[in-house]
Amino acid sequence: MNITVTKTTHPGTLPPADTLGFGSVFTDHMFVMDYTEQAGWHDARIVPYGPLSLSPAASVLHYGTEVFEGMKAYRRPDGGVQLFRPWDNMERMKNSAIRLGLPVVPPEDALEAVKALVKVDERWVPSDPGTSLYIRPFLYGTDAKLGLHGVHTAQFIIILSPVGSYFDNG
C-alpha cells in the first residue's frame, strides 16, 4: 500500500502525564483512506489532524454504518514503541465490517496504516507509568443517499490520543 504523508506545519506538544485523561488530546496527524465500488480502497494518506467533511445524508448518520476498534501502543523501557495485540484488533474490525455490510479493509493494510501513523507521531507516545497511546481505527459509510441501500462509498480513518487512565481513580 502506498501511503502519502503530509506533515503538519503546526506541531503540538505532548501534555504532562498527570493531565492526560482519556481521548481528549489528539496527535498531529491522522490516517485517511477512501473507498468506492469502482476503485476499491484508494488514496491512503497521513494528513494533519482536523475536521472531516461529510454529507448530511451520509449513511453513517442515518443507518449507523460504522465500526471502530480501540488499541494501544506503549513506550518500552528501551525507548521503542510496542503495539499490543494489533492482529486481534484488525481481525475483529474485519469481522465487524462484514456484519455491517461495510467494505473490508484488508487486515494487513489496516495494520500497515496503524504502524505508519504511529511512526509519524511516535513522539506522542508517553513513557510515564500508566500512560499509553490510544489508537482508534474506524470505518464508516459515506453514501449520500437516504433510501435504504448497501454501502457503496466509505472512509477508513485512524486517530491517535496520548492517554492516562480511563477512570479517575486509575
pLDDT digits over 115-153, tens only? Answer: 999 999 999 999 888 889 999 999 999 999 887 777 899
pLDDT tens by residue, 59-108? 999 988 999 999 999 999 999 999 989 999 999 999 999 999 999 999 99
* CA gap 39, 63 in Å, rounded: 23
* CA gap 39, 25 in Å, rounded: 34
Question: DSSP 3-state assignment of 25?
Answer: coil
Position 66: which residue type? E
pLDDT tens by residue, 94-110? 999 999 999 999 999 99
3-state helix, strand, coil in the chain (%, to 5): 25, 30, 45
Residue 17's pLDDT band (boundaries 50, 70, 90)? confident
- Among the listed residues 132, 161, 150, the one whose alpha carbon sits nearest the alpha carbon of residue 30: 161
Contact 161, 133 (CB under 8 A): yes
pLDDT tens by residue, 21-44? 887 899 999 999 999 999 999 999
Greatest Cα pair distance, the chain, in angstroms, is 54
pLDDT average, residue stretch 3-27:
89
* HSE toward the beta carbon, residue 64, CA cutoff 13 A: 3
Task: Supply 87's cell numbers.
Answer: 492482529
Q: What is the pLDDT of residue 167?
A: 59
25 contact partners, CB below 8 Å, separation of at least 6: 15, 161, 162
Q: What is the pLDDT of residue 148?
A: 72
Place of cell 480513518: 157
